[in-house]
Amino acid sequence: MMADDDASPQSRAVKQQKREAVAAARRTTAAELTLSGEEVEALTAASKSLDPCWREGSAEDCPTALKSVFTQQPIDFFAALRNPQEDPDPAVWIGVRKTWPVLAERSDDDLLAALQPIKDVRVDKRSL
């Protein structure tokens, strides 16, 4: 018996449906959050930042999830927060809170939900 083919059109469609359902739930949660304009502005700035998301020491100390698979250097906030296929690694929120202190009191779940409507607006990295 063959294992499920993750690259099959059916598998990709199912994964896409799941991502869309999660995104819709996060949009609903984000609409219920009471973020200040300053918090939304800070999270938007974080999602567009080309600064490295890991600054807590050397690149060797950087969590694997926050490293580029090609360079083994920390990825930027843009790549960490705007990945359309995966949620940001929880370690990225440490850097977000440190760089944008106005977000320090927000939970990971709040930030993840608030990020969804921001991610919905496409941004080309080349324009930054």
Could you count the other beta carbons within 10 Å of the beta carbon of residue 83?
Answer: 13
Q: Which structural domain range is residue 41 located in?
A: 9-127
Domain assignment present for residue 85? The answer is yes
pLDDT at 1: 41
Domain assignment present for residue 80? The answer is yes
With 60 as the cut, is the pLDDT of residue 15 above it? yes
**pLDDT tens sequence across 54-99:** 888 777 788 899 999 999 999 999 999 999 888 999 999 999 999 9
Domain assignment present for residue 3? The answer is no
Q: What letter does residue 87 receive in the DSSP assignment?
A: P
Number of domains in the chain: 1
pTM: 0.84
pLDDT at 53: 92
Q: Are 103 and 39 in contact (CB under 8 A)?
A: yes
Domain assignment present for residue 2? The answer is no
**pLDDT tens sequence across 34-53:** 999 999 999 999 999 999 99
Domain assignment present for residue 33? The answer is yes
pLDDT at 3: 52
pLDDT band at 4 (very low <50, low <70, confident <90, very high): low
